[in-house]
Amino acid sequence: MIENTLPEPDHVSELRRQLRRFVAEKAPREKRRAWDKAHDWPRELFRELSDMGLCGLTIAEEHGGLGQDIVAAVAAIEELARVGPFLAGPFIHCAFYGGMNISENGSPEQKASLLPRLARGELLFAYGLSEPDVGGDLSSVRTRGRVDGGELVINGAKRWCTGADWADYIYCLINTAPEASKREALTFVLIPGKAAGVSTTPIEHVNLRYTASCDVHFDDVRIPLDAIVGGPAKLNTAWGMLAGRALDVEKLEVAACTFGFAQAALDEAWTYAQQRVQFGKVIAGHQVIAHKLVTARTKLEACRHMLYHAARLANAGEPCGVETSMAKLFIADTGVEIALACQQVMGSYALSDAYDMDRNVRDLLGMPIVGGSSDMQRNNLAGLWKLNR
């Protein structure tokens, strides 16, 4: 198995060891295959991970967490993603969509009521950004929130809302001032997944099959103004939250998943190439195969450096918009290259469900699209570097 090569604090190395033992014992290939086929994830294993305190890694101790530790949380995603999205996904719904966002943007009341439960792994959030007509251009969301007395009345539709059918809350971006400029029109709200007027329809998709992403409809959904992220005074102020630290860390969370999948793909191809014999020798002994593997491992190592450099900056509270965008862009695009090289190494067996390669390739091909596409990261970077003045 490919090992971490970077210096890291002892507690992070120990966390890796624990998680490797955990997934090796509890998430064997036959279970991974069954979860992938069923679009499902193991609730009882997530409970065991929560009992280890894992979900507290993005939450301050005063709110029941372990103290925010972005490097450890990223390492946790990496280790869990080596066996697919089935545990990394739910961990992200709790610790990042929930714990990270509420820690950064929640009101004191939201922090007091939600963070202790998130730290214990008792709440799961879904992310409601994309819509049928809105992908990268998030500030154009059309889901509408109208203030009516002490409530918001919400109508509209979200698409690709992963986990909306089981999430306790949808962390949802809506337009609350259609007449205003985009910068003054957006609000993040917490919509209970089971609120009256919320309906979900699963979408069939080939990647990230730990659950079904969903179409969500809001028909006159009523929530109190207290459900505005940050409290009622934060009505129409979500523009700033779209560019804030929580979104920087969100890019890292997608990059960490990608890195875990790419590492798993390379691990599998690396082992396979030393066992499969053709023309009288193991295929790793054919120079073209050895070169593919060496190149892929070199690229993987570059991904590791970018990921943990950005994670260390985020952890230290330093500006990291550039580094997180570069990490998301580079790791997602390089993950595709690694996936395709490893697929070639394994030949027809990469296409069979006897191995994990087929799933890792499907998941890796999607990573330059989800969570802010590679083109959008290039746009972000061009803006941050003032290329497009």
Ligand X SMILES: Cc1cc2nc3c(=O)[nH]c(=O)nc-3n(C[C@H](O)[C@H](O)[C@H](O)COP(=O)(O)OP(=O)(O)OC[C@H]3O[C@@H](n4cnc5c(N)ncnc54)[C@H](O)[C@@H]3O)c2cc1C
The distance of closest approach from Cβ of residue 370 to ligand X in the complex, given in angstroms and rounded to an integer, is 5
207 binds ligand X, rule: CB under 6 A: yes
Q: Quick one: which of 252, 235, 228, 265 has its CA closest to 321?
A: 252
The distance of closest approach from Cβ of residue 369 to ligand X in the complex, given in angstroms and rounded to an integer, is 5
SS3 322: helix
The distance of closest approach from Cβ of residue 131 to ligand X in the complex, given in angstroms and rounded to an integer, is 8
64-70 long-range contacts (CB < 8 A, ≥24 apart) are 64/115, 64/116, 64/119, 64/120, 65/99, 65/115, 65/119, 66/119, 68/103, 68/315, 69/315, 70/249, 70/252, 70/311, 70/314, 70/315
Q: Which is nearer to ligand X, 114 or 129 (CB)?
A: 129
Q: Are 214 and 203 a contacting pair, CB within 8 Å? A: yes
- Look at strands 169-175 and 125-128 and give their pairing: parallel
263 binds ligand X, rule: CB under 6 A: no
Q: Which is nearer to ligand X, 143 or 315 (CB)?
A: 143
Restricting to residues 12-41, which ones interact with ligand X according to CB under 6 A? none
The Cα–Cα gap between 335 and 260 comes to 10
**Contact range with ligand X by CB under 6 A, out of 65-73, 101-109, 182-190, 366-374:** 366-374
116 binds ligand X, rule: CB under 6 A: no
Which residue do the tokens 């950064």 mark? Answer: 104
Q: Which is nearer to ligand X, 146 or 205 (CB)?
A: 205
Tokens of 116: 């202790």
373 binds ligand X, rule: CB under 6 A: yes
Binding mask 145-184 for ligand X (x = CB under 6 A): ---------------xxx----------------------
Tell me the torsion sign for CA atoms 27, 28, 34, 37: positive
- Look at strands 169-175 and 281-282 and give their pairing: unpaired
Q: Which of 9, 28, 67, 136 binds ligand X (CB under 6 A)?
A: 136
Q: Which residues contact 14 (CB under 8 A, 6 or more apart)?
A: none
Tokens of 305: 């450096």
Q: Which of 103, 130, 187, 343 binds ligand X (CB under 6 A)?
A: 130
Spell 4-21 as b/e; 16+ CB within 10 A means b. eeeebeeebeebbeebee
113 binds ligand X, rule: CB under 6 A: no
Q: Quick one: which of 329, 324, 270, 260 has its CA closest to 295?
A: 270
**Contact range with ligand X by CB under 6 A, out of 74-82, 122-130, 260-268, 290-298:** 122-130
Q: Which is nearer to ligand X, 129 or 345 (CB)?
A: 129
370 binds ligand X, rule: CB under 6 A: yes
Q: Which of 95, 227, 269, 376 binds ligand X (CB under 6 A)?
A: 376
Q: Which residues contact 209 (CB under 8 A, 6 or more apart)?
A: 35, 36, 37, 39, 85, 359
379 binds ligand X, rule: CB under 6 A: yes
The distance of closest approach from Cβ of residue 174 to ligand X in the complex, given in angstroms and rounded to an integer, is 12
The distance of closest approach from Cβ of residue 279 to ligand X in the complex, given in angstroms and rounded to an integer, is 40
The distance of closest approach from Cβ of residue 62 to ligand X in the complex, given in angstroms and rounded to an integer, is 29
Q: Which is nearer to ligand X, 49 or 370 (CB)?
A: 370
Residues that bind ligand X (CB under 6 A): 126-130, 135-136, 160-162, 205, 207-208, 213, 366, 369-371, 373, 375-376, 379
